Amino acid sequence: MNIQSAKHDLARQGWAVLRTGRRFADGDTIDEKAVLDLAGRFGVPSSRDGGREIWPVRPTRTDPAATLSERAGAAGFHTDAAYRPDPEPVICMFVIRPAADGGRTLLLGATAVAAELRRHALGARLLDTLAAPEWRWRVPEVFGGAPAGLSPPAAVLPGDGTIRWRADNLAGLTCEQRRVASWFARLLKVLPQTVTLDHRPGDVIIIDNHRTMHARAWFRDPRRLLLRVRLWAS
């Protein structure tokens, strides 16, 4: 395990993987100190959403109000806390129990997405729409969202190498935004620059939440468990 190499990878490519070989949990009992000590090497843990620094990512709900971390199945490309004015810049994902039937992590950087859009005939129009600071999201119920509560407007791809995106809780869209969002979500599923990460117990995936989106392959295994720690810059 090399923290400095991981920090270098994070800065260079927007993500890194630490193969720690460690067990951060005994069954469902989490070694919170070990998790926070390691996460703290990459920033200051945030407890803003959910009121706790360590958030379990496992299927516990099937109702429509469940957020991505509470349900099984695939999850489209997104950045965390897109619904907040200031999303945390770094995410650590600790693999406790990989799914037996999939659930791998997928990664895709903002630079690759913007470059792909520029290659399309309608790319300039799409980039203009995505760069406009007029996109809004609902805060998930579990993180204090209310039916009428929307995030402040923000850009998806402002043109500075960053991205803010999550398709399942977009709100207040114009007709043009709905068309662009649908096309954009489809494009993200087929880009060849997508990185796929297998999960091993003890893996820690570190993601630059401002430059890199993450997604999840389909799974059904109810025992799958990851731990998420969002981090502020130290």
Per-residue pLDDT reduced to its tens digit, 41-61: 999 999 999 899 999 999 999
CATH number of 3-59+77-108+194-232: 3.60.130.10
Structural domain boundaries in the chain: 3-59+77-108+194-232, 110-188
Judged against a pLDDT cut of 70, whether residue 146 lies above it is answered with no
Q: What's residue 147's pLDDT?
A: 54
Q: What is the mean pLDDT of residues 92-98?
A: 97
State how far the alpha carbon of 232 is from the alpha carbons of 35, 145, 210, in Å.
Answer: 16, 21, 12
Range among 89-103, 110-124, 139-153 rated most confident: 89-103
**What is the predicted pLDDT for the residue at 148?**
56
Nearest of 35, 40, 39, 42 to residue 11 by alpha carbon: 42
Please report the pLDDT score of residue 60 as a whole number.
Answer: 94
How are the residues of the chain apportioned to helix, strand and coil, as percentages rounded to the nearest 5? 25, 25, 50
Q: Determine the average pLDDT of the residues in 28-40.
A: 96
